[in-house]
Amino acid sequence: MELACHRRPQGPRIGRMDVLTTERLRLVRWREEFRADVARLTSDPRVYRTLGLGTRWTPEYVDERHRAYLEHWRSHGFGWRGVLAADGEEFLGIAALNYAGTRVPGVEGSAFEVGWWLDPRYQGRGIATEAARATRDDAFGRLGAPRLAARVRIGNDASARVATRLGMRLHGEAVAARGEAVKVFTLDRRAWPGPGRATA
């Protein structure tokens, strides 16, 4: 699952929250040192095959995305986060949130886009769901998002299950900006079950 970064719609500036916490995790504001973690993950076929066009990221593209993640935080007060264990600094993965803009087919620009990736060593433990749920709650709670959207590469069944656990429903299938076939999941604010809560 790969997210672009977009300018926010006009409106009041949002207060920043650098760290989100859950029972097992800390989701921290994007840091300079996370560039190496992105490079490592996007050179692993178990990860990059689930992202965008399903190809390995070049060093130049890693640098471009990393700079965009830092700038999104400076401009908007939220964005991509490193997922760390609650009791340490080990990098487990990524939880992402940004303005959807026009990059999510069939979804209006006022929506927020949510995404997640994990180091393969930590998959299958519910960590992606826990991190994504905290990101969802930050979007609807602190940030006042009207709607959330997620693009999931077709065939990435694990991420589709996470989206469903967040309460998201399949909006449809589409071809994203870089030509990849994706499923688009959405959740409206009025259907949000509340902070920390799962859905059926």
Domain ranges of the chain: 19-191
Fold of the domain spanning 19-191: Aminopeptidase (3.40.630)
CA angle (114, 119, 123) in 5-degree steps: 85
Count of H helices and E strands in the chain? 5, 8
State how far the Cα of 86 lies from the Cα of 60, in Å rounded to an integer.
Answer: 32
What is the structure's pLDDT at 13? 38
CA distances from residue 33 to 67, 126, 166 in whole angstroms, order as listed: 12, 25, 29
Q: In what side-by-side order are the strands of the sheet with 169-175?
A: 19-21, 25-29, 81-85, 91-99, 112-118, 147-153, 181-188, 169-175
Proportion of the chain above pLDDT 70, given as a percent: 88
Q: Which residues of the chain, if any, have pLDDT below 70?
A: 1-16, 102-103, 105-106, 177, 197-200
pLDDT in tens, 100-113: 876 676 677 788 99
Read off the pTM: 0.86
Calculate helix-pair angle for 34-41, 59-76, nearest 10 degrees. Answer: 130
Tokens 């989100």 — which residue?
20
State how far the Cα of 180 lies from the Cα of 58, in Å rounded to an integer.
Answer: 18
Residues β-bridged to residue 150: 185
Mean pLDDT, the chain, as a whole number?
Answer: 87
Nearest to 35 by CA among 88, 80, 86: 80
Calculate helix-pair angle for 127-140, 157-165, nearest 10 degrees. Answer: 50
What is the structure's pLDDT at 108? 73
What is the structure's pLDDT at 200? 45
CA quadruple 96, 100, 103, 107: dihedral sign? positive
Nearest to 94 by CA among 47, 54, 140, 146: 47
State how far the Cα of 21 lies from the Cα of 41, in Å rounded to an integer.
Answer: 23
